[in-house]
Structure 1
Amino acid sequence: MNNLAQIRFSLFILILSATTMLWGCMPEPLAVEGLPSLKPQIIVSSQIIPDQSLVVLLTKSFGALDAGEDSDAQALLDQIAVTDASVTITGPQGTYTLQALALGIYGGVSIPFQEGESYELRAKSETLGEVTAVTTVRRQVSFEDISADLVFDGYDDTVAQVTYSFNDPAEKNWYVVNSQRIRLNDLENNLLDPNAFTKVIDDVDFNGGGHAETFRGFRQNFHTGDTLLVSLSNVSEDYYSFIRLRLDNRYSFSQFLSEPVNYPSNVTGGKGFFNLYVPDIRLFVLK
C-alpha cells in the first residue's frame, strides 16, 4: 500500500472512531441570550492502523448555541476544524511531524509504533495554543467470527443485525464496538452521523475466554446494497470510561449545560483523547 492509500484508509477508519466523540459534543441549539462565551479548547481524536500510519483529528470545542443535529456537516467542520496546528509524535524511535491534510486532519506514515510503548502527541495552534498527550499502544484484538444481515424488525423497518465473537487475552481489557452505515464518498456526513452505533464492553465476565453476541441497535432503516462498517477496538480503561460516559449522557439535557463538556481526558491543555489502538475493521454489503 503506497503512502496516499495508507492515509486514505486511515481517514476512513478515523471517520468511525471519531463519530461518538464528535457527535457526543453536539447539543441541541438553545435560543437564549446573555450567556458568557468561553474560550474554545482543542479536542483531540486519533487512530493508527496496522501499517503504522497515523491520523489525528483536531477540532475546537463548541457549545449549545453553535450547532445541533440539523447542522450542515460541511459548514460545521469548517467552523470547528483546527487548521493552523503543527503536530508531532515522539516515541522511542524519535520524533515524527504529521502533515496537514484537510478538515483539521493531520497524518503520518511509516511511524514504527510498538505494542506496549508510550508516545507523546504535541499539537501547537497559533490561535488556540498548545496541547500534549501521552498514551501507550494497545494490543490488537480481532474478531474470531462476524456476520451482518438484513432482518425485519417485526414492525415496518428492515434493520442490520450483527453477530460476532472474539477471544479475549488473559490480561484485563476493555472494548469499544462501533458500527454504522457508510457512504464512501461522503466524509463529512459519515463523521457526523447521529445514527452510528457504539457500545462498550468490560471483560469482567469473560477475562481470558471467548465473547459472542448479536445486536441490532440501529436507529435507521437499512436496504439491500447498503455498506455497513463494524469495528472492534481494545482500548484503555480511561478511554472506555470516557466513551461509556458519552453514551450514558448522549440524550441528556445536562450534556450541554456547560462549555466545554466536563468529561475525562488524557489531553493536557485541551479535551478529547489521544489513542493508539488498532481496530479490527470489517465491511459488509448488506443483502
Structure 2
Amino acid sequence: MIIKNYFYIVFFCASALLTACLPEPLPVNNVPVLENTVVVGSQELPDEFIAISLTKSFGALDAGPDSDIEALLDELLIDSVEMFIEVAGQNYQLQNLTNGFYLGTGIPEIVGEEYTLSFISPLNDKPVISKSNLLPFIGFDSLEVSLNETTFDTLININLWIEDPDQKNWYMVNVQTFNDDYDIQDRPYTELLDDIGFNGELYHHEFTIPFRDYEPGDTIFVSMANINEDYYQFLKLRKDQRFSLLDGLGEPINYPTNVENGLGFFHTHQPDIRIVLFGQ
C-alpha cells in the first residue's frame, strides 16, 4: 500500500504540472507547427524504484484553460515504449504501467554511479538518452507539519531542519495534499533551498502553504531530496515562471534539459518521504 501511494504521488504531481503549463490561447496566424518531441519526467522512490513519465511536447497554440484535461492527457501520454536504465554495467527494463508511466524495480541505489536512461522515440525513431549521477542521501534532521486555521483559509505550516554537510548542496522539498475529492489541478508545492547561507550547519527553514478544502483525514506527503545544481536551476526556472505564464505576463522561455533528442529532465535522487495524517 505504501509503494502504491508513492506511485500515486508521482502520477498526480506529473499530471498536475502538465495542466499547470496550459497557456492562454494566442490570437495569431501563420505560426509554423513545431515537431512533436518526447518529454521525460522522473522521480526516484524508496526501495529501488524509479518512475518515469513520458509525454509529447505541445505548443502555446495547442491548448488553453478551457481544454478537456482528460482528453488532452490521453493525446499527450506515450505508452508501449521499451525503456531501459543502465547502471554499473547492468541493464534494467522499466515496466509500462499505464498513462505514460514507467516503473523500474530492483534498480540498485549506488551513490556516485552514473544512471543512463535510454529508449527509441516513437515520434521520430531517434534514440533518446539521458544520464544522471546518484547523489548521497540527505534527509530531514527533523520535520514538523501543522495546520493554521485562519478566518479565510486553512494553511499548512512546514518546519524542517537539515544537517547540511560541509559541501555545496541543493535541496528540493515537495508537499502534496490528498483528500477524497482530490482535483488533478491541485498542484504540489515545491520549495527549493540553496545552502549558500548555511553550508555545513544545522539549518532550520519554515514556510507556509495555502491549503484548500481541508477535511479531517487528509493525507500530507512531504519529501526532501539532495539534488544537483542543474536540476535545481530547472526547477527554479519552472517555479519562477509558473504564475507569470498563467497570467500571460511571462516571456516565452526554453527550459534547460539533459535529454538528448527530447525535452524534460532525468534526475536520480534519494528522497526522504514523510506521511502526515491530519484529523485522525
- Scaled by the length of structure 2, the TM-score of the pair is 0.87
Q: For 2:227 and 2:12, locate their aligned partners in 1 and report how far apart those are by CA, in whole Å.
A: 15
Where does residue 133 of structure 2 map in the other structure?
136
Q: For 2:38 and 2:219, locate their aligned partners in 1 and report how far apart those are by CA, in whole Å.
A: 32
Worse-superposed segment, 91-100 or 215-224: 215-224
Where does residue 261 of structure 2 map in the other structure?
269
The correspondence for 1:212, drawn from 204, 219, 233, is 204
Matched, 1:107 2:103: yes
Where does residue 277 of structure 2 map in the other structure?
285
The correspondence for 1:97, drawn from 79, 93, 98, is 93
Q: For 1:140 and 1:183, locate their aligned partners in 2 and report how far apart those are by CA, in whole Å.
A: 30
What one-letter code is carried by the residue in structure 2 that aligns with 1:239?
Y
Distance apart, 1:105 and its partner CA: 0.7
Where does residue 151 of structure 1 map in the other structure?
148
Distance apart, 1:133 and its partner CA: 0.3
The 8 Å contact of residues 23 and 193 in structure 1, kept in 2 or not, is answered as no
Distance apart, 1:115 and its partner CA: 0.8
Secondary structure of the 1:216 match is: strand
The 8 Å contact of residues 140 and 160 in structure 2, kept in 1 or not, is answered as yes
Matched, 1:179 2:175: yes
CA-atom RMSD in angstroms: 2.6
The correspondence for 1:222, drawn from 195, 214, 219, is 214
What one-letter code is carried by the residue in structure 2 that aligns with 1:118?
E
Where does residue 24 of structure 2 map in the other structure?
28
Matched, 1:241 2:237: no
Change over 3 Å in CA distance of 1:278–1:12 after alignment to 2: farther
Q: For 1:125 and 1:99, locate their aligned partners in 2 and report how far apart those are by CA, in whole Å.
A: 16
The 8 Å contact of residues 21 and 272 in structure 1, kept in 2 or not, is answered as no
- Scaled by the length of structure 1, the TM-score of the pair is 0.85
Secondary structure of the 1:140 match is: coil
The 8 Å contact of residues 225 and 270 in structure 2, kept in 1 or not, is answered as yes
The 8 Å contact of residues 161 and 215 in structure 1, kept in 2 or not, is answered as yes
What one-letter code is carried by the residue in structure 2 that aligns with 1:193?
D
Distance apart, 1:284 and its partner CA: 1.5
Where does residue 162 of structure 2 map in the other structure?
166
Distance apart, 1:48 and its partner CA: 2.1
Worse-superposed segment, 12-21 or 268-277: 12-21
Change over 3 Å in CA distance of 1:232–1:71 after alignment to 2: farther
Secondary structure of the 1:215 match is: strand
Change over 3 Å in CA distance of 1:175–1:58 after alignment to 2: same
Distance apart, 1:273 and its partner CA: 0.7
Worse-superposed segment, 15-24 or 276-285: 15-24
What one-letter code is carried by the residue in structure 2 that aligns with 1:237?
E
Where does residue 193 of structure 1 map in the other structure?
186
Q: For 2:170 and 2:224, locate their aligned partners in 1 and report how far apart those are by CA, in whole Å.
A: 10
